[in-house]
Amino acid sequence: MAEMKPEEFMYRPMDQLQGLEYCIDSNPSWFEAIALGFQHYVLSLGTTVMIPTMLVPLMGGSDGDKARVVQTLLFVTGINTLVQTLVGTRLPIVIGGSFAFVVPILSIIRDSSLANISDDHQRFRATMKATQGALIISSTIQIILGFSQLWGICSRFFSPLGMVPVVALVGFGLFDRGFPVAGRCVEIGVPMIILFVALSQYFKWIHTRHLPILERFALLISIAFVWVFALILTAGGAYKNRPLHTQINCRTDKANLISSAPWIMIPYPLQWGPPTFDAGHCFGMMAAAIVSMVESTGAFKAAARLASATPPPAPILSRGIGFQGLGILIDGLCGSLTGSTVSIENVGLLGSTRVGSRRVIQISAGFMIFFSILGKFGAVFASIPFPIFAAVYCILFGIVAAVGLSLLQFTNMNSMRNLFIVGVSLYLGLSVPEYFNRYTLSAQHGPAHTKAGWFNDWLNTTFASPPTVALIVAVVLDNSLEFRGAGRDRGMTWWTPFRTYGGDSRNAEFYGLPFNMGRFIPNYYFR
């Protein structure tokens, strides 16, 4: 047999992934789309419940307050997702609550002027109003950078090489929300991982009426089986005499959401009262808005590949960030407790189901709004134990991280320059935030601990985010280290057509606004 030539076994780089059943602008049947939308809704509940569960008790809130915050966060998630898929980037992404805002929110909670309020209910409302004010002011960062196109101008310095660690760490950087949480209740976490992998990968060939039902709905089927298993363990008394920490993570009746949620509640602006504004709180929250913007940029890139779309051009990135800023403004007005960002787990689900349809995500937004209003019904699904969601994250975050690594195909990885940049930015992107997180856990405050609270929040929030650290390191090195004549090695020549809206004819198909809305938008959003 003749020896194969190198070009015969090397794979050609491709700007769109293969093997997807439905791309961004193609749709499954209505029945399948509704079922897939419900699946995305269920997945979004993990973060929606986790953030209020962690923060509301520290604010002095009751179980009823927590239930109302969960409903509000779910409601604004549905609104922001609809806006983003209609007039934002138009990518199939869920815009949900962000953990990037936790550090400045904790700083507000610990503020002496609020922490010293003796009445818990009054302290909760005062803290919520202070958080609302900080969110409203911080939203202007993304609104200005997005709608002014400044973020799009900055993104032109992002090469495929520089985006590899950013997109990869959007997934890898969330490792602490994966198995460390699933391991809190291994008897339901480990079976969930095994069952989800088995159904979505090993048995995906099983079809029902030409529909790969196990691959498409592996998440729903796995959650249903493991949730029933957890109910049996709870009812059978398996956790009767176990420590409180174990009961909270394993039992299905410890969330107290069903009993405390109202039957019907429509979230509305200023429901907690008029926001209060403090300069220190607002400056600290601005750091979280910037971190959210960086993380969403990486998620936009990943979602575009998993939806078989072209890389989002600079004007589209700016447009998406601008509308995400409006979403944070809505968060602040309605009192959802935290700001918004792209839900990474829902991006990963696009790859698991191989369905990147925009319509599916819009249907999921409808479920979010519907179940946020009907509180009791929504609370049933929201009471799923956290380890079940964390087990799914182990798979979905990994898919997003792998999408980031796939960008290496556009670069020359035989270049020592490129190896240095990717290796250092990936390592520091993991190592620096880990230092900040461990320091915070041991000292109960971040490494930045000066008398200027806003300055502390800036540093502790920025450097606790793996994608943000990776972006700083990668972009600085990529645009300063032997960059002259390295455009091809960096992948810039491959991405040149996608840097502007008119650079590739497919961009208008994927990112054009519906209903002829483009005629009402300034032309610079499409350059």
What whole-number distance in Å separates Cα of residue 474 and Cα of residue 167? 12
Q: What is the mean pLDDT of the chain?
A: 90
Beta strands 340-342 and 95-97: pairing type?
antiparallel
Buried b (16+ CB within 10 A) or exposed e, 431-453: ebbeebeebbeeeeebebeeeeb
Q: What percent of the chain has pLDDT over 70?
A: 96
Give the Å distances, CA to CA, from 79 to 49, 307, 330, 424. Answer: 17, 21, 9, 39
Asked whether 352 and 214 are in contact (CB, 8 A), the reply is no
pLDDT band at 129 (very low <50, low <70, confident <90, very high): very high
Q: Is 211 helix (H, G, I), strand (E, B) or coil?
A: strand
Q: What percent of the chain has pLDDT over 90?
A: 71
Lowest mean pLDDT among 15-19, 242-246, 298-302, 495-499: 15-19
Asked whether 430 and 390 are in contact (CB, 8 A), the reply is no
Q: Alpha-carbon dihedral of residues 258, 259, 263, 268, nearest 10 degrees? A: -80
Q: Alpha-carbon dihedral of residues 365, 321, 397, 492, nearest 10 degrees? A: 140
**pLDDT value of position 1:** 46
What whole-number distance in Å separates Cα of residue 152 and Cα of residue 139? 17
Question: DSSP letters of 447-499?
Answer: S---S-HHHHHHHHHHTT-HHHHHHHHHHHHHTTSS-TT-HHHHTHHHHGGGS
**pLDDT value of position 40:** 97
Asked whether 59 and 124 are in contact (CB, 8 A), the reply is yes
- Write the DSSP symbol of residue 203: T
Would the pTM of this model clear 0.85, i.e. be above it?
yes
For 130-178, the pLDDT digits (tens) are 999 999 999 999 999 999 999 999 988 899 999 999 999 999 999 999 9
- Alpha helices per DSSP H over 19-159: 30-55, 63-87, 102-109, 112-115, 120-147, 150-155
Please state the rounded mean pLDDT for residues 413-438. Answer: 95
**pLDDT value of position 496:** 82
**How would you class 110 by CB atoms within 10 Å of its CB: exposed for 0-12, middle for 13-18, buried for 19 or more?**
middle
What whole-number distance in Å separates Cα of residue 15 and Cα of residue 509? 15
pLDDT band at 526 (very low <50, low <70, confident <90, very high): low
